[in-house]
Structure 1
Amino acid sequence: MQLPEQQVAVLEAASADEATSVDALAERADLPPETVTGAAFELETEGLVAVEERVDETVTLTDEGADYATATLPEIRLYEAALEAGADEEPVQMGQVIGASGLEGPQVDIALSNYARKGYGTIDSGEITADPDADPSADAEANALEALSDADEAPVDAVDVDADTIDQLDRRGLLERRESTVREVILTERAVTELMAGIETAETVGQVTPELLTSGDWEDVEFAEYNVEADAEEFEGGKVHVLRQMSERVKDVLVGMGFQEMDGPHVDADFWINDCLFMPQDHPARTHWDRFAMEQPSHIDELPEDLVADVERVHREGLGEDSEGYHSPWDEDFARALALRGHTTSLSTRYLSGTQIGEIEPPARFFSVEKAYRNDTLDATHLLEFYQIEGWVMAEDLSVRDLMGTFEEFYAQFGIEDIQFKPHYNPYTEPSFELFGTHPTTGELIEIGNSGIFREEMLEPLGVDCDVMAWGLALERLAMLTTGAEDIRDLHGTLADLEFLRNAEVTY
C-alpha cells in the first residue's frame, strides 16, 4: 500500500490502543498540527484511523480581572467606604463615600452598577446605605477571581467556580473564555494490518510551482488531495454597532413618515432644557442630584430677552383663567445655568420658538435621535447617558388618537404591535401617557417612552398658536425589544457583551 509521506508519518505516530491528540502526533511526527489534521481526515476517509472531536473550554483573567484579583472589586471598596462613613446606620451622601473609596473614572460606574445587585446596600437620590449583614468575604465573584488568579489558562471543568459566576465575570469583561476543538486519532484494525504488511511512501506534491510547470514534471507527479473539510482560521471582522443600526433604521422610518431631523447642543441652558417646558425651577428633576451641571463655563450669555420674559411670566402667573402658574421662585440666573441636557426636548423648544432655524409654519413634523444625560441609578434599563428618539407634530386639532396612531404606525415598522398606554403626568403635556412594550424573551412590560400634547403654558411663550403632540422614546429599549437583550448594559458601556453585539441583528 502506498500513501503520501505525511499520512505515513501520522500512521506510524498513532496508536491502536489509545487515542492520541493531534498536537501530540505533530510533535512525534515533527509536522505542523494543521498538516497532521489534514492527513488524519484523509486517513479516516481510507478507513485507516478514527478521528474523535471534543470542544474544550478554558478561562483566563483579563488584565482588569487580574487587577481586581490582586486588589478587590470596586463594589467591595465602595461598601467598605460606606461602612466607614456610617452608612450602615443612616444614608450618607454618595459623593462623600465615592471620594473616600478612592474609586476613579469607570470604576465608579462599575461599583454603582454592582453595589445594589449584590445586596451591599441601596443607592437612591444621591444617597447610599450599607447593609451591615453583607459579607464581602462571601462575594462569589471576588472569590472566583482569587481562585483563577494563579491559573494562566484553566479548563472550565477543573475550576471550582459555578457556571453563573463564570457567566457574570464574562459579562463584566473580567475573564476570557476560549473554546478549542481537540481532535484525537486512533488506528483502526485495518491500519494495524497494513502497517504489519508494510506501507510505502508515495511521492506527492502539495502545490503547483513555476518549476513544475516549466519543466513539464507536473504531468508525472502525484498531487496531494485537497481537504475541503479542514477547519479554516476564524476571523472576527468589524460590524456596525447594534445601536447604530437601530438609530439608522429609526431615522429611515421617521423620514419615511414625513419627518425632518433636528440637531442642537448637548450642553445647553436650563432655560431651553426645562424652563421653556413649563417645568418649575424647584422641580426635583432639576436638582444637582439628577442633572450634570457644567463648571466651566457655568452659564450661557445669550438668550432671547422677550422669550425669557414670557416664560418667566407664565411660570409666575400662569396663562388664562384656569392657570395660576407655580407661585414658586423663578431665577433668571438659574435659567442661564449650563448642563448636559436631560432630554432632547431642548431641541424641540429651540425649534418651536423659531430660534434654531426660523419660524416654522404648521403643519410640520420634526424628530431627532440624539444623546441625553441623567444622573440615574444604573440598572438593567437605565444608564447615565442614553439615546432618545425625540419627535413632535405641529398641526390644527390634534388629539390623543392621532398620537396613539402615530406610535402604532412607527412601532409596527419594527414588528411591535402590542404597545400599551398608561396615563401619566408631565409638567409640559396634558394629556400625557407612557408607552410600554413586551420583552420578547422575559415577557415583562418595559417602559419605552413618554408622550403627550404640549400644554398651552408651554406653547404660548414660544409663539405657537396651534396643537403640538410630542414624545421622547428610548432607543436602547427599542433595541432590547428587537434584539432580545435583557440588560441595557449589554448594549453599550463598560459591561457591554461583545459576543452578543457580534451576533445581534436589528430585525424589522
Structure 2
Amino acid sequence: MDNLHPLESKVLLALTRQPDAPPTLDQLAASTGLEPSQLSMAVEWLLAKSLIAVQAETVAHIASLTPIGELFFEKYAPIERVLSAAREAGQTGKRLTIQDIQAKEALEPSDVSKAVGTLKKEGAILIVQGGCIESTGRNSATAEAMRSLLQELRSGQRELQSFPEPLRSVLQQHAVKRGNAREPFRIDERVTRSFVLTPAGQEVAEQLSRDGVAEEVSQLTPELLKEGAWRTKRFRKYTISLRAPRIAAGKRHPYREFLDLVKLKLVSMGFQEMRGTLVETEFWNMDALFMPQFHPARDIHDVYFVKNPTHARTIAEPYLTQVTQGDAGA
C-alpha cells in the first residue's frame, strides 16, 4: 500500500468496478479520467508488481491516408493521371512521351516511372517507337483500386482485413515503408489489451476500497515548510534501490563500418580510390543497357536530373539509332 502511486490506486479501483468485463486501456481511461501517458505508466507499474495481468491481447492493422494520399484524392493518383493523359493523347492523335507527362502533370519522375511500369504490365498502355506512350483502351485494375481506396479511407481509418483481397493487395503495395515515404496509405499496428486483477491485486484493491486513497505529497515545497503544513501531510516514499538508467556510449554506424571494410579490402587488392567530377549520362548508364523506364534505378534518389546540361556529349551514330530501336521493341 505504501508503495502505491496515486495513479496506480485509481487503476486498481477502476478494475474492481468491472470484474466481469476486463476493460481495455480506452475503457480505463474513460473510467479513471487519466491522461493516456499517466494511464500507461500506471498500468506498466502494476504489471511489474504483479497486481494486474493481461487478460487478452488482440492485434489489428489499421489503414489510413497519408498527406500524399489526401493530395492524390484531390488531384488523382499518378497512375490515374498517366492513364488519363494517354487516353486523351489517343483521342487527339498527339504523340505522348514520359517527358510530356512529367511536364504536363508536374509529377515526380519516380512517380511517372512507377505508374508507366504498372500500366504497361496490365496492358493498359504500350510504349511504341520513339518512347511514345499509347493507350490500348483497357482499364487498369490498379488505378480503379487506387480510386476506390482513396474514397473509402477519405472518410476515416479502417481495419486492413475489412477490405477485399484485391484492394488489400494494392493498399499494402502502396503503403508507407521504410525508405519510401511518398505513398498514399499508411498501415499501423494497433494492439488492444484487456486487464484483470491478480489475487494480490484483488487484496490491495479491497483494502483501498475500505480505507480510501490517502492524499500524498510528492514534493516538499517552500510553502509547506513556511506554513508548517508538512506536519500533517503524507509524503510518498521513494525507492532509492533502483538502478540508474544505463548510458549507451556512441559508436560508428554498422553501415559505415561495412563501407570502410569494403574499401579497405579493395585498396589492399590494388584498387585505387578516386574522387572527381566524372558523371555519366542517362543514355550510357541506362538506355544503352536497355534498362526499363520504370526500373527503380531511374528514380530521383539514384539519378541527378540536370535542367540545362552543358557537358553532356552528343551521342554518336549508330549507337543512338540502335538503342532507340531496341527500346521501342522491348
TM-score normalised to structure 2 length: 0.62
Q: 1:136 to 1:155 in 2, by over 3 A?
A: closer
Q: Tell me, yes or no, if structure 1 residue 18 matches structure 2 residue 28.
A: no
What is the distance in 1 between the residues matched to 2:269 and 2:278? 26
**Matches for 1:161-310 after TM superposition, within 5 Å:** 162-171=167-176, 173-188=183-198, 195=205, 198-201=210-213, 222-223=237-238, 250-266=262-278, 291=283
Q: Tell me, yes or no, if structure 1 residue 146 matches structure 2 residue 142.
A: no
What is the distance in 2 between the residues matched to 1:383 and 1:241? 27
Q: In 2, are the aligned partners of 1:59 and 1:155 still within 8 Å (CA)?
A: yes
Q: Tell me, yes or no, if structure 1 residue 383 matches structure 2 residue 298.
A: yes
- The structure carrying a bigger strand percent of its residues is 1
Letter of the aligned partner of 1:110 in structure 2?
D
SS of residue in 2 equivalent to 1:83: helix
What is the distance in 1 between the residues matched to 2:254 and 2:292? 25
Q: 1:167 to 1:81 in 2, by over 3 A?
A: same
How many angstroms does 1:9 deviate by? Answer: 1.3
2:68 to 46, 64, 68: 64
What is the distance in 1 between the residues matched to 2:223 and 2:288? 68
Q: Tell me, yes or no, if structure 1 residue 104 matches structure 2 residue 103.
A: no
Q: 1:137 to 1:154 in 2, by over 3 A?
A: closer
What is the distance in 1 between the residues matched to 2:219 and 2:174? 47
How many angstroms does 1:110 deviate by? Answer: 0.9
Identity %: 24
Structure 2: segments with no counterpart, 5+ residues = 177-181, 225-230, 244-251, 304-317, 319-330
Task: Describe the superposition over 1:31-50 as per-residue Cα deviations: whole angstroms up to 9, x where unpaired.
Answer: 33343334334444665433
- The structure carrying a bigger helix percent of its residues is 2
Q: Tell me, yes or no, if structure 1 residue 134 matches structure 2 residue 105.
A: no
Q: In 1, are the aligned partners of 2:125 and 2:135 still within 8 Å (CA)?
A: yes
Q: 1:174 to 1:225 in 2, by over 3 A?
A: farther
Letter of the aligned partner of 2:263 in structure 1?
K
> What residue is the counterpart of 2:311 in the other structure?
none
Q: In 2, are the aligned partners of 1:204 and 1:222 still within 8 Å (CA)?
A: no
RMSD: 4.8
Q: Tell me, yes or no, if structure 1 residue 77 matches structure 2 residue 85.
A: no
What is the distance in 1 between the residues matched to 2:90 and 2:212? 83
**Matches for 1:437-456 after TM superposition, within 5 Å:** none
SS of residue in 2 equivalent to 1:18: coil
Letter of the aligned partner of 2:43 in structure 1?
A
Q: In 1, are the aligned partners of 2:69 and 2:184 still within 8 Å (CA)?
A: yes
What is the distance in 2 between the residues matched to 1:376 and 1:384? 12
What is the distance in 2 between the residues matched to 1:150 and 1:141? 15
SS of residue in 2 equivalent to 1:112: helix
Q: 1:69 to 1:139 in 2, by over 3 A?
A: same
The higher relative CO (CA closer than 8 Å, separation ≥ 6) is in 2
Task: Describe the superposition over 1:75-120 as per-residue Cα deviations: whole angstroms up to 9, x where unpaired.
Answer: 221222212222899x945157527x822241x4312222232422
> What residue is the counterpart of 1:49 in the other structure?
52
SS of residue in 2 equivalent to 1:117: helix
Q: 1:83 to 1:226 in 2, by over 3 A?
A: farther
SS of residue in 2 equivalent to 1:133: coil
How many angstroms does 1:186 deviate by? Answer: 2.6
TM-score normalised to structure 1 length: 0.43
Task: Describe the superposition over 1:452-477 as per-residue Cα deviations: whole angstroms up to 9, x where unpaired.
Answer: xxxxxxxxxxxxxxxxxxxxxxxxxx
How many angstroms does 1:189 deviate by? Answer: 6.3
SS of residue in 2 equivalent to 1:16: coil
What is the distance in 2 between the residues matched to 1:222 and 1:30? 24
Structure 1: segments with no counterpart, 5+ residues = 229-238, 274-289, 292-341, 344-370, 388-426, 428-508
Letter of the aligned partner of 1:8 in structure 2?
S
Moved more, 78-87 or 374-383: 374-383
What is the distance in 1 between the residues matched to 2:116 and 2:146? 13
**Matches for 1:294-333 after TM superposition, within 5 Å:** none
Report the count of equivalent residues: 273
Q: In 1, are the aligned partners of 2:29 and 2:35 still within 8 Å (CA)?
A: yes
How many angstroms does 1:150 deviate by? Answer: 1.6
Q: Tell me, yes or no, if structure 1 residue 30 matches structure 2 residue 40.
A: no
2:160 to 134, 156, 159: 156
Q: In 2, are the aligned partners of 1:204 and 1:221 still within 8 Å (CA)?
A: yes
